[in-house]
């Protein structure tokens, strides 16, 4: 399997499918690169080079004790981009991966990147504070940590329900998709999963967003129960210099079904424009 070795010795697994203009995907918590397989297949079949990695601590990458923080995630991504020699890339990040992409662009600049896509992404800040009253209360994230520290297998199974909107009337989410969510989630190391809760909930990406000078497509479902749109995409587009927003009516956090079909079409259109 292909890996790069980071400056601190972690091995980062990646997929590299197809050839052409690179499109680099960053996955959400607590998943791995397999969550992007449909998009990797789609783009590699359309003349693009589709790349996705397992964040450290997740999937097939090293389960490091240290370094489970947003700066290191971004630095790992930078080392991957450098190692593969990627230029004129499009970066795509879902959920926590959207934070990773945003921090990469704010921290490492856009010399290798020409466009970005943030879908269901956590920026600018998930946590509710006096300055961010639309955010999610800290007690919600404490409950996530308690679920991980207790019976994390059952916690992940339960989380798959709101993640894909399976608790909504008329939902067609399959058991297979929920089981796939559970399978990928169980591959993340407990320490990495626990640490990442702080990173996706408490990291403030405001300054990163303000530094980004390339076109950004912001996509979000208006029934996202994990990363509510009002505190995320609605505020993100106001901070970016060059952003377009697409709101998907009734869409959940997880990209599946009709939402996935619509997003895939929009993703292709944005990349090819």
Query: Two tokens at 57?
Result: 């601590």
Q: Of 215, 222, 9, 239, which Cα lies nearest the Cα of 123?
A: 239
Where do the H-state alpha helices sit in 85-137?
Answer: 96-108
From the candidates 61, 95, 185, 201, which is the catalytic residue? 95
Centroid of chain to Cα 271: 18
Q: Is 61 a catalytic residue?
A: no
Q: Label the pairing between strands 21-26 and 89-94.
A: parallel
Longest distance between any two alpha carbons in the chain, whole Å: 48
The answer to whether the CB of 103 falls within 8 A of the CB of 72 is no
SS3 30: coil
Rounded to 10 degrees, what is the CA torsion of 8, 205, 126, 178?
Answer: -50
Q: Among residues 16, 34, 76, 224, which one is catalytic?
A: 224
Closest CA to 94 of 31, 24, 14, 27: 27
253 catalytic, yes or no? yes
Which residue shows structure tokens 């856009």? 110
> Which position among 54, 220, 253, 256 bears the catalytic label?
253
**CB-hemisphere CA count at 13 Å for 171?**
20
Q: Indicate if 201 belongs to the active site.
A: no
C-beta of residue 226 within 8 angstroms of C-beta of residue 143 = no
Classified as helix, coil or strand, 175 is helix
Query: Which residues are known catalytic residues?
Result: 95, 224, 253
């Amino acid at each position: 399997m292909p890996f790069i070795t980071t400056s601190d010795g972690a091995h980062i697994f990646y997929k590299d499918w197809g050839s052409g203009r690179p499109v680099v995907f960053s996955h959400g918590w607590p998943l791995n690169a397999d969550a992007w397989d449909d998009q990797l297949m789609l783009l590699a079949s359309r003349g693009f080079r589709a790349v996705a990695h397992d964040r450290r601590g997740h999937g097939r990458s090293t389960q490091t004790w240290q370094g489970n923080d947003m700066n290191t995630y971004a630095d790992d991504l930078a080392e991957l981009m450098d190692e593969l020699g990627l230029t004129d890339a499009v970066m795509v990040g879902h959920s926590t991966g959207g934070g990773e992409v945003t921090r990469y662009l704010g921290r490492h600049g856009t010399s290798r990147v020409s466009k970005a896509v943030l879908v269901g992404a956590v920026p600018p800040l998930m946590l509710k504070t006096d300055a961010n009253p639309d955010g999610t209360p800290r007690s919600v994230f404490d409950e996530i940590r308690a679920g991980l520290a207790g019976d994390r297998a059952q916690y992940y199974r339960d989380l798959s329900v709101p993640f894909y909107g399976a608790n909504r009337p008329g939902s067609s989410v399959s058991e297979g998709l929920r089981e796939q969510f559970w399978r990928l989630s169980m591959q993340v190391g407990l320490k990495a999963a626990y640490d990442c809760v702080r990173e996706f909930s408490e990291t403030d990406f405001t300054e990163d967003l303000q530094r980004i000078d390339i076109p950004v497509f912001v996509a979000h479902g208006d029934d996202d129960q994990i990363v509510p749109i009002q505190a995320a995409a609605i505020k993100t587009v106001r901070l970016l210099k060059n952003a377009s927003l697409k709101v998907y009516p009734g869409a959940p956090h997880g990209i599946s079904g009709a939402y996935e079909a619509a997003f895939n079409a929009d993703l292709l259109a944005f990349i090819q424009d």
